Structure 1
Amino acid sequence: MDIKNKSMAVFVMNEDVRGIMAIYDDETHETPTFYKTFDQDLQVGDLIVVPASTRLGFTTNKVTEVDVEPDINRHNEVKWVAGSIKLENYQSYVEQENQMIAQINKLEKRKAREAVKEELEKSLGEDLKGVTLIEAS
């Protein structure tokens, strides 16, 4: 048996290796790239980290297909998925931060209102007592 592409041999030797297709930018309608991974939890739409020729050596891709049957005669080298990005953690952090910021804004608004009220009471003193500025209708 002559395997032309040695990077495909792992598919023959280990049945746990999955073939997946992924793209860098789904707006450009590029042809997906074939990758290999041991991650059995990857699903279509997941973000993954893959090798790239960028200055740090990695970039992100979006999974477009999972459990792709490998072509062991494929000519180009097949690279490994370096990892996946768990957006649930990120989204949870952002939501928690947004809630904290909302509470800070509420506190700042209340403190500002109290400061204005205190300043008015100092400035107007007795003249302010008993004065209703707005009546509910």
Structure 2
Amino acid sequence: MLFLLFGGGLLAGYVGWAARRAHPVVDLAMLRTAQPALALGLSVLASTVTFAVVFLLPVFTEAVQGRSAFGMGLALLPQGIITVLGTVLAGRFVDRRRGSYNGRHRLRPAGRNDRRPANADRVDTAVSHCWNPLRARSLPAS
């Protein structure tokens, strides 16, 4: 419970700090719309679950249940295989969709279009002016 209170305090502190900055690391204004808020929430949930499975589960099974490190490695092997397969298949799926975003907004490969996309300002706000190699290649210099 103490850790939850400490984490909530850190989160509240960041919200206050970010409100006073012109370009915070995570622009909280993007959370006003549903899709970015859902994406961020799911990313936090996925990161938490991944941490629990990769770190806490082996520690628990070795320390509490008395299993060996080798046995725990074998038990987690299917997760690694599924992660690799999912990454490869997701890449192929995205390639097949040819870079469409949400099925409506088409992203063009670099060099095919000299003007900025209509939603470029939203993209700039969403990445909060962090360097993004995909954005750097696809948008012309301003």
The two structures have a TM-score, normalised by structure 2, of 0.22
Structure with greater strand percent: 1
Larger radius of gyration: 1
Structure with greater helix percent: 2
**Structure of greater relative contact order (alpha carbons < 8 Å, 6+ residues apart):** 2
